[in-house]
């Protein structure tokens, strides 16, 4: 372990006074009484410019050189980003994270005014950064349910598991409206229809925050403002990028009708933070777009929370010089800067920006007030620590049952010839299973699962399809095999996990391995069922006709029993949240557009039982 990291671990333990990942009992936690400031008005009145600048910084745990910087600079927030989110000393379960976050909080409370720290993570389909948590279907699957009550229930579980990991800020819901499924982040969106996105996004906010921000809330984040799902194919700069972080080239009316509309719903639901988008609108980078961030979001929509930049996105603004980039972003309406390594540089850029007249002092005061107001509404000035009783409930059977129900409700049946489904629950018949997803938990999860890009194999705790099938058929007379011939063949496979621009696809190909596996399994069975794990529609070509039944399972998460529940008779209720194109070149087309010839239209789904 590098010497600097060793120093950090030792300092953190010393400052935190907590024993490793166990954390401290509630009784010996530092209370905030005494000389600390209390609430937005009091803190703002007493803070120096340097302390205000610190509140406007969110730094990543992996790059905190010295925990004493949290107090020295009065840092407002931290995050665990995609990879290596856990404590440096190892351990990636809820208890390890909770101990880590508590240590940072204790270090931050040593600042002059003892302002509590806000810790955030990408709990985008459950608290998916830690091992042992319940991982839900990605948003595209939840969109297939069209069920806001189910989304809210799922997010209440995610809220409790996020709190169990000591985290109080979730960078979700993405209320992007994916309009071209070749985009690598399609699965982070609920649907191509802004009405569905707004309804489910608002349900997600209420699931995490409750009806209003309060001591039991996890702060939600509507992202990425605005138009991240509407970038033009080929407009993204950078190796291998096609759409992600590209340019939105639609007129103002379409921008508002499609991409801005969901933000009205989530602002009305009380979302406490909004994350700006890396992308640009008609050539203007959104992180520097005062018209959109301040005029539209804070002005027209009346958003009263705070706007956080995306990860190192401020440094992507034109000009290349940090002081100017930070000044442009803050003046445009960014209230908190999410930064990896150069948090000291950002701090200097804010303080110097004010002293040298590039940033109005009133703009800094407005930003800090927004941040402190959210902390006050979260109850941080009374108790900035999370309830450690929730840590033991992470991954509980009750939580997994909610995810299993969400998985079943998200399944979309695209084909069912000859009544292939439902499969008889009992009887002496043989099922032969194959495909790269049959017994691979990582493929069920997709990106943003333990690691940024996800992974294959047993990356956390959960139930694979094959394990689910074996449990569903135990004692029924049905034989399950992975070799030989069968009465029924089930192919389970699909996309390799990916996140962000790594998922941008020119071809939407199912892939030769999947096509060969599907042909092989179906060639060894009388009746064949295809189960596709994917973050979006893929080009199915001849594969579909090789099957008797075909299920779009999306990226279902840790509870594959929800899929077997549907196969054995619990029913299919999912409907396509996006248009399923026949060819990749049609991926930007909408079902309802004149001349559209999709393979399956938006909203399609068979409900045989």
Catalytic residues: 310, 500
> Shortest gap between Cβ of 398 and ligand GLC (angstroms)?
28
What CA–CA distance (Å, rounded) separates 262 from 227? Answer: 11
Tell me, by CB under 6 A, how many residues bind ligand GLC.
7
Tallying the residues shown for the chain, one arrives at: 609
> Shortest gap between Cβ of 221 and ligand GLC (angstroms)?
7
- For 207, the token pair is 């699931």
Q: Which of 496, 497, 425, 438 is nearest to 467 (CA)?
A: 438
137/562 with CB nearer ligand GLC: 137
23/82 with CB nearer ligand GLC: 82
190/491 with CB nearer ligand GLC: 190
| Cβ-contact 179, 246 below 8 angstroms | no
178/603 with CB nearer ligand GLC: 178
> Shortest gap between Cβ of 448 and ligand GLC (angstroms)?
8
- DSSP line for 140-188: HHHHHHT-HHHHHHHHHHHHHHHHHTT--EE---B----S-TTSTTGGG
- DSSP line for 266-286: HHHTT--EEEE-SSEETTEEG
Q: Is 98 in the site for ligand GLC (CB under 6 A)?
A: no
Q: Is 565 in the site for ligand GLC (CB under 6 A)?
A: no
| Cβ-contact 433, 490 below 8 angstroms | yes
What CA–CA distance (Å, rounded) separates 29 from 433? Answer: 53
Q: Using CB under 6 A, pick the residue from 69, 122, 161, 335 that binds ligand GLC.
A: 122
343/381 with CB nearer ligand GLC: 343
| Cβ-contact 273, 76 below 8 angstroms | no
- For 281, the token pair is 């609108």
- For 525, the token pair is 């069975």
245/294 with CB nearer ligand GLC: 245
What CA–CA distance (Å, rounded) separates 327 from 596? Answer: 46
Q: Which residues pair with 77 in a beta bridge?
A: 58, 118
What CA–CA distance (Å, rounded) separates 233 from 231? Answer: 7
> Shortest gap between Cβ of 329 and ligand GLC (angstroms)?
15
Q: Is 311 in the site for ligand GLC (CB under 6 A)?
A: yes
> Shortest gap between Cβ of 271 and ligand GLC (angstroms)?
14
223/404 with CB nearer ligand GLC: 223
Q: Using CB under 6 A, pick the residue from 12, 77, 81, 181 that binds ligand GLC.
A: 81
161/548 with CB nearer ligand GLC: 161
Q: Is 350 in the site for ligand GLC (CB under 6 A)?
A: no
Q: Using CB under 6 A, pick the residue from 36, 76, 82, 605 that binds ligand GLC.
A: 82
> Shortest gap between Cβ of 151 and ligand GLC (angstroms)?
18
What CA–CA distance (Å, rounded) separates 82 from 84? Answer: 7
505/591 with CB nearer ligand GLC: 505
- Identify the DSSP state of 288: G
| Cβ-contact 563, 411 below 8 angstroms | yes
Cα 416 to chain centroid distance, Å, stands at: 32
Q: Is 244 in the site for ligand GLC (CB under 6 A)?
A: no
Q: Is 194 in the site for ligand GLC (CB under 6 A)?
A: no
Q: Is 272 in the site for ligand GLC (CB under 6 A)?
A: no
Q: Is 439 in the site for ligand GLC (CB under 6 A)?
A: no
Q: Using CB under 6 A, pick the residue from 147, 192, 265, 310 that binds ligand GLC.
A: 310
Q: Which of 138, 57, 124 is nearest to 85 (CA)?
A: 124
Q: Is 155 in the site for ligand GLC (CB under 6 A)?
A: no
Q: Is 388 in the site for ligand GLC (CB under 6 A)?
A: no
Peptide bond into 224 cis (omega under 30): yes
Cα 385 to chain centroid distance, Å, stands at: 23
Q: How far apart are the first and last CA of the chain?
A: 57
> Shortest gap between Cβ of 85 and ligand GLC (angstroms)?
9
Site string for ligand GLC, 199-228 (x = CB under 6 A): ------------------------x-----
Q: Is 171 in the site for ligand GLC (CB under 6 A)?
A: yes
> Shortest gap between Cβ of 357 and ligand GLC (angstroms)?
32
What CA–CA distance (Å, rounded) separates 270 from 469? Answer: 42
Rounded to the nearest 5 degrees, what angle is found at the Cα of 367, between the Cα atoms of 112 and 277?
125
- For 164, the token pair is 């169990």
The strand ranges marked E within 198-293 are 221-225, 247-248, 273-276, 280-281, 284-285
| Cβ count within 10 A of residue 210 | 16
> Shortest gap between Cβ of 81 and ligand GLC (angstroms)?
4
Binding site for ligand GLC (CB under 6 A): 81-82, 122, 171, 223, 310-311
């Amino acid at each position: 372990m590098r010497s600097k990291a060793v120093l950090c671990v030792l300092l953190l333990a010393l400052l935190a006074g907590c024993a490793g990942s166990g954390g401290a009992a509630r009784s010996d936690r530092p209370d905030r009484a005494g000389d600390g400031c209390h609430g937005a008005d009091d803190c703002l009145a007493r803070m120096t410019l340097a302390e205000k600048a610190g509140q406007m910084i969110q730094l990543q745990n992996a790059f905190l050189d010295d925990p004493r910087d949290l107090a020295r600079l009065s840092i407002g927030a931290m995050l665990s980003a995609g990879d290596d989110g856990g404590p440096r000393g190892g351990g990636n379960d809820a208890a390890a994270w909770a101990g880590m976050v508590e240590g940072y909080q204790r270090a931050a409370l040593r600042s002059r005014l003892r302002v509590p720290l806000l810790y955030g993570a990408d709990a985008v389909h459950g608290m998916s950064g830690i091992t042992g948590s319940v991982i839900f279907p990605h948003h595209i699957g939840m969109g297939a349910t069209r069920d806001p009550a189910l989304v809210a229930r799922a997010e209440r579980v995610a809220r409790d598991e996020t709190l169990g990991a000591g985290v109080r800020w979730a960078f979700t819901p993405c209320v992007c409206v994916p309009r071209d499924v070749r985009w690598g982040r399609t699965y982070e969106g609920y649907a191509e229809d802004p009405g569905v996105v707004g309804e489910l996004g608002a349900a997600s906010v209420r699931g995490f925050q409750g009806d209003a921000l309060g001591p039991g809330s996890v702060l939600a984040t509507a992202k990425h403002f605005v138009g991240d799902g509407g970038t033009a194919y080929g407009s993204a700069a950078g190796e291998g990028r096609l759409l992600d972080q590209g340019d939105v080239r639609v007129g103002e009316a379409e921008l508002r009708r499609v991409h801005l509309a969901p933000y009205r719903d989530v602002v009305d639901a009380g979302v406490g933070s909004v994350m700006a988008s890396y992308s640009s609108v008609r050539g203007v980078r959104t992180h520097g777009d005062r018209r959109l961030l301040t005029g539209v979001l804070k002005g027209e929509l009346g958003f009263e929370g705070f706007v956080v930049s995306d990860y190192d996105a401020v440094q992507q603004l034109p000009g290349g010089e940090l002081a100017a980039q930070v000044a442009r972003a803050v003046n445009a309406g960014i209230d908190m800067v999410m930064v990896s390594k150069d948090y000291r540089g950002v701090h200097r850029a804010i303080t110097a920006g004010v002293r040298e007249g590039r940033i109005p002092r009133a703009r800094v005061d407005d930003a800090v007030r927004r941040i402190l107001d959210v902390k006050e509404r979260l109850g941080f000035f009374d108790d900035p620590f999370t309830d450690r009783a929730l840590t033991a409930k992470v991954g509980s059977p009750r939580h997994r049952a909610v995810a299993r129900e969400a998985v079943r409700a998200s399944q979309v049946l695209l084909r069912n010839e000859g009544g292939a489904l439902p499969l008889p629950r009992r009887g002496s018949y043989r099922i032969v299973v194959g495909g790269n997803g049959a017994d691979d938990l990582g493929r069920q999860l997709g990106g943003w699962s333990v690691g940024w890009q996800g992974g294959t194999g047993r990356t956390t705790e959960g139930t694979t399809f094959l394990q689910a099938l074996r449990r569903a058929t135990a004692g029924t007379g049905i034989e399950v095999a992975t070799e030989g011939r069968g009465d029924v063949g089930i192919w389970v496979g699909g996309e390799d996990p990916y996140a962000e621009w790594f998922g941008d696809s020119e071809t939407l190909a199912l892939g030769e391995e999947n096509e060969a596996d599907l042909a092989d399994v179906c060639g060894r069975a009388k009746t064949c069922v295809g189960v596709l794990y994917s973050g979006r529609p893929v080009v199915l070509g001849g594969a579909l006709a090789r099957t008797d039944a075909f299920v779009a399972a999306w990226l279902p998460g840790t509870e594959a029993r929800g899929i077997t529940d549907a196969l054995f008779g619990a029913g299919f209720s999912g409907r396509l949240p996006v248009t399923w194109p026949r060819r990749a070149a049609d991926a930007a087309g909408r079902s309802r557009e004149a001349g559209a010839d999709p393979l399956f239209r938006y909203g399609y789904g068979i409900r045989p039982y």
